[in-house]
């Protein structure tokens, strides 16, 4: 500051922040470098400008600029972002001798013409509320309109709203102001159109089957919700009709003395046509991106907007739903493999594959092997005295997933003092393992497993498979704790449960063959042997 001779700073009553020297000469003033707003007593000199902010809440440099040009014309420009170049102006005073834009202390805004102060071009009404009672400001808003605002300094008993109110603005209709330049999107973004609301402020809307690019910033434009047309085909597209809408700067074709039907067919057949405008026998074809869109109640034309047909939309919707459903099912199946099964009434521990690999010393000691699985002896790390039997299902066998969950459900729900207890499981990736308490004398499950192996080695063909299924049926009886009832021919057991149904279906429907007597005799031998072993406590349930 010393280098420019500044010795003091002050905020003046006008709102001007100044830096002054010892002689009270102003070296720098905030009024000389305005941003988007000017206030009473502030002057905009030639080449001075106001720059709008980007959005209502984003104060970075926006898309519009007000500048007093060196030729004396006051002009509103749309700017190219991010470089900041000016497109064509969309409003001006059409003056050649404007010297200053003045906001005087009485609250009037005008362009001084020439060197005198009598010739002026007024930007505000001739009657204005007094600055003694109201605050004044003029702002180039983010939507491109230059507005004069007032705010009551004191409570007026409801006569005036206690908020900033617009007293004047230029241009008179910001929506229809654009259209002279083929560059830029206009007040609203590309592929949208502008309509004034009840407060005469622009409202940006999307055409049918278009949505906002950013729902938080409706001035940012719209995008299609359908696939763009492929050249060479018109199937799957239709035209939606909206009156009094146009995108004046998106033309690429114009045809006079044509009918509306001709205009429709031409647009549908042309893959470059996004919108057709039909007005008094003239057809305009519009291309993407649609720019400077607006509604004009005086416009007698109508817009024919090309969109994907309802049938195509439905097909796409069905495809999306199918893809989402497939994704959901895949995710659900993946989750079923990754997460522990949720079975009511079960209190099981979920083991990792590595834990069970270490517990069995890399599956070293084999206790038994069946068609779908192998059982290993193991010791849990948390309790070295706790021996377990780890049943590993073969992942390459079809039906393992079903067997794994069926066995968890059957054994996990069973709570009986004489039944082997299911302690936990592993459901990790392709690994399916069940962890049981270790029975020193074996279990009925392992006994039946041995029977299956014996049958598989002794009998060939269909009969052997059916006998093996009967041993599975015997295991179901064991799970329901009804094996001894069947051996004793108890009628109660024959009226309920999977056990008796298994007997009925397997024998009557499956084994009505030449080998029926052999199968029945073998089954009875198995049952009696199991029953006597259980009674003799030589085989634990």
Instruction: Give the residue ranges of the annotated binding site for ATP.
Output: 391
Closest residue by Cα to residue 222 from 198, 204, 206, 200: 206
Residue 110 φ/ψ, nearest 5 degrees: -155, 160
Dig out the tokens for 148 from the structure: 């004069």
| Inter-residue contact 253 to 284 (CB < 8 Å) | yes
The answer to whether 296 and 174 have CB atoms below 8 angstroms apart is: no
Q: Which residue has the tokens 């209502």?
A: 56
Q: What distance in Å separates the CA atoms of residue 67 and residue 237, rounded to the nearest whole number?
A: 46
**Sign of CA pseudo-dihedral 62, 64, 66, 70:** positive
340's tokens: 């522990």
Whole-angstrom distance, CA of residue 19 vs CA of residue 416: 93
Contacts of 209 (CB under 8 A, 6+ apart): 224, 225, 226, 240, 305, 307, 308, 313
Helical segments of 270-352, H only: 310-338
Return the H-helix or E-strand segment holding 518. Answer: helix 516-535
* DSSP annotation string for 437-451: E--TT--HHHHHHHH
Return the closest-CA partner of residue 163 out of 180, 151, 175: 151
Please enumerate, by residue number, every residue annotated as part of a binding site: 391
Whole-number Cα distances in Å, 162 to 15, 157, 199: 21, 10, 17
Residues 23, 383: Cα–Cα separation, whole Å: 92
């Amino acid at each position: 500051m010393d280098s420019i001779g500044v010795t003091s700073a002050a905020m003046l009553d006008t709102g001007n922040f100044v830096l002054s020297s010892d002689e009270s000469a102003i070296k720098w003033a905030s009024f000389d470098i305005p941003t988007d707003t000017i206030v009473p007593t502030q002057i905009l000199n030639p080449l001075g400008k106001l720059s709008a902010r980007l959005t209502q809440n984003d104060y970075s440099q926006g898309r519009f600029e007000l500048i007093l040009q060196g030729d004396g014309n006051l002009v509103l420009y749309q700017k190219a972002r991010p470089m900041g170049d000016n497109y064509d102006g969309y409003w001006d005073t059409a003056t050649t001798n404007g010297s200053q834009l003045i906001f005087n202390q009485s609250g009037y805004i005008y362009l001084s013409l020439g060197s005198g102060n009598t010739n002026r071009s007024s930007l505000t009404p001739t009657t204005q509320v007094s600055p003694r009672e109201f605050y004044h400001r003029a702002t180039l808003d983010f939507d491109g309109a230059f507005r004069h605002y007032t705010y009551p300094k004191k409570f007026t008993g409801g006569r005036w709203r206690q908020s900033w109110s617009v007293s004047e603005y230029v241009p008179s209709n910001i929506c229809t102001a654009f259209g002279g330049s083929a560059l830029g999107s206009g007040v609203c973004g590309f592929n949208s159109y502008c309509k004034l609301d009840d407060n005469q402020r622009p409202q940006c809307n999307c055409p049918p089957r278009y949505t906002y690019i950013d729902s938080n910033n409706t001035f940012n434009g719209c995008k299609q919700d359908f696939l763009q047309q492929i050249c060479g085909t018109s199937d799957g597209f239709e035209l939606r009709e909206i009156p009094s809408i146009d995108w004046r700067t998106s033309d690429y074709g114009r045809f006079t003395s044509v009918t509306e039907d001709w205009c429709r067919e031409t647009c549908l057949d042309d893959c470059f046509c996004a919108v057709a405008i039909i007005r008094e026998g003239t057809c305009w074809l519009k291309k993407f991106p649609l720019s400077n869109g607006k509604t004009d109640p005086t416009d007698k034309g109508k817009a024919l907007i090309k969109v994907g047909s309802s049938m195509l939309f439905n097909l796409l919707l069905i495809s999306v739903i199918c893809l989402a459903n497939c994704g959901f099912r895949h995710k659900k199946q993946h989750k079923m493999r990754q997460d522990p099964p949720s079975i009511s009434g079960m209190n099981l521990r979920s083991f990792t594959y590595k834990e069970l690999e270490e517990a069995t010393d890399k599956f070293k000691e084999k206790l038994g092997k069946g068609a779908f699985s192998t059982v290993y002896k193991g010791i849990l790390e948390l309790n070295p005295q706790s021996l377990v039997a780890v049943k590993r299902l073969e992942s390459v066998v079809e039906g393992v997933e079903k067997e794994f969950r069926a066995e968890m459900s059957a054994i996990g729900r069973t709570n009986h003092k004489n039944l082997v207890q299911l302690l936990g499981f592993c459901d990790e990736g392709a690994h399916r393992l069940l962890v049981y308490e270790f029975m020193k004398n074996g279990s009925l499950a392992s006994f039946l497993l041995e029977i299956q192996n014996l049958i598989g080695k002794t009998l060939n063909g269909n009969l052997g498979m059916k006998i093996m299924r009967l041993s599975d049926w015997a295991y179901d009886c064991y799970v329901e704790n009804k094996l001894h009832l069947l051996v004793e021919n108890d009628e109660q057991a024959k009226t309920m449960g999977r056990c008796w149904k298994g007997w009925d279906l397997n024998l009557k429907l499956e084994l009505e063959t030449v080998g029926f007597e052999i199968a029945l005799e073998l089954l009875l031998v198995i049952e009696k042997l199991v029953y006597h072993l259980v009674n003799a406590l030589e085989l634990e349930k």
